[in-house]
Amino acid sequence: MTNRMYRGVLGALLLICLYFDFTWLMYGIITVLFFEGITSLIVPKLVDLFGRLVAPGSSFFEYKPEPCSVGSRFGFESERCWRLVVGSMLLVTYYYYDMLWFFPWFMGFAIFGAGLSGVCPVLLAIRWAGFK
């Protein structure tokens, strides 16, 4: 599983839990994003590990990290920073959902679109800021 595929699945899950008003799933997604951002145990790596145990030699489950920039200012991975930024924005906007109801929907569509196209503006901005 690649990070691009992960973003597509994450965006689809966000849209599903917003449409059907699954509060427990939204808080679960936010918890997983914070856990991944803090510990660096990300779902694509875990799926790769599980895929190697279930189907040895299969390339479908192979984790392929995106290339990092060489001249980064900070020693922190951009994917981890992305997960922390998205988790914190979802937490704040879902807590104030009455006033900011459009923002989680926008994030869900943007993350789903980033999974389909492979271009995530937030991740590009984080990399431009100097994260690896």
Q: What is the pLDDT of residues 24-82, one digit of tens each?
A: 999 999 999 999 989 888 887 777 777 666 555 555 555 555 555 556 677 778 888 99
| Amino acid of residue 66 | E
Give the Cα separation of 23 and 94 in Å (integer): 9
Handedness of CA 74, 80, 86, 92 (dihedral sign): negative
**Considering only CA atoms, which of 43, 12, 6, 34 is closest in space to residue 108?**
12
With tokens 């922190």, the residue in question is: 76
pLDDT tens track for 74-123: 777 888 899 999 999 999 998 888 888 889 999 999 999 999 998 989 98
